[in-house]
Structure 1
């Protein structure tokens, strides 16, 4: 895992646990609670599929960070629900926006796909694909960063804003270094048999919790 500010490192590192049936629960709006996901290998991506199940009762007129990957100088890969309820994927500065059903208390299964070769990107919600859009063809996501759930770091693992924090539950987090086929994304949504994720796998996840984050 990339180096982080010493004062921010939690005392305990949880290694390679099977979280099947569990969730990261963020019960309140804070600027101190988050989860850091440990990387076995530095990210250096030209494509990815990121999937997670998210439940939240936050108002759609409040922006909320769903996934943040930041290197020392840049927000490399961020997924947001925006003020107007749209979902966004940002790779460094440029982003694309999708008008899809917003988060709710029952949970939404979300997958984001991106391929550098074509720039094709799409958002999948509960197994249904959005229109395809184009984002940064030829771009590569840089290594030596840190992945955070629950907060948006405006500096390297710091400068959090309470009004952007995630409140709710995140579970079934998987990430691959390639774009999954539509039939495999359907299997991930239905929680049927699918290929093991080679970046993050919810059934073998290493993570660190700081602040008021409950795992159950």
Structure 2
């Protein structure tokens, strides 16, 4: 994915629609943003089914219903000034956790959907590959209100992402990826 602006972030909201039949003890990555030196922002389903995101180091984990074959609208939010981190599934908000207060997501990296680059755009581990559907990825450089995230899940019009806008974002396709256009 090619961003509309550099990922130099002190806050963000990242949303996507996800469906997979991968179950059991299998960790899978949904979204990876890596610079030359670090995994700056990764979103995972952990071995035990929890969802998590990582900002250049230790992650923040959420025990929520498992993602399955039915499409799930998933959002993660984070604000550096307070450290407030939350996860939304189908418009419902998790508890808020304090995570990486004062941190900044650094620019200059690359985004990969469904695969974890253990080095800059390389060293992929097939066992961590996502199999399923990921789409409607939007990202903002601010934390959206709970109401706006719920409205987005319900299909109401909300401003498109200013970092990634799924309707206009350029995708560079590699591997066995198929882009399927759907009506929403």
**TM score, norm. by length of structure 2:** 0.96
Shift of 1:40: 3.0
Shift of 1:65: 0.2
Shift of 1:172: 1.2
**1:169-205, Cα deviation, whole Å (9 max, x unpaired):** 0111110000000110011111211012101111111
> Whole-Å Cα distance in 1 between the matches of residues 89 and 24 of structure 2?
16
What are the residue-to-residue correspondences of 1:25-174 with 2, within 5 Å?
37-174=1-138
**TM score, norm. by length of structure 1:** 0.82
Aligned residues: 180
What are the residue-to-residue correspondences of 1:3-14 with 2, within 5 Å?
none
**Residue 60 of structure 1 contacts residue 82 of structure 1 at CA under 8 Å; is this kept in 2?**
no
**1:121-168, Cα deviation, whole Å (9 max, x unpaired):** 000000000010011100000000000002100000000001000000
Unaligned stretches of 5+ residues in structure 2: none
> Whole-Å Cα distance in 2 between the matches of residues 197 and 211 of structure 1?
26
Unaligned stretches of 5+ residues in structure 1: 1-36
Larger RCO (CA under 8 A, 6+ residues apart) = 1
> Whole-Å Cα distance in 1 between the matches of residues 155 and 15 of structure 2?
11
Q: Are 2:150 and 1:186 equivalent residues in the alignment?
A: yes
**Residue 4 of structure 2 contacts residue 162 of structure 2 at CA under 8 Å; is this kept in 1?**
no
Shift of 1:60: 3.4
> Whole-Å Cα distance in 2 between the matches of residues 64 and 196 of structure 1?
26
Q: Are 2:140 and 1:176 equivalent residues in the alignment?
A: yes
CA RMSD of aligned residues (A): 0.8
**Residue 45 of structure 1 contacts residue 140 of structure 1 at CA under 8 Å; is this kept in 2?**
yes
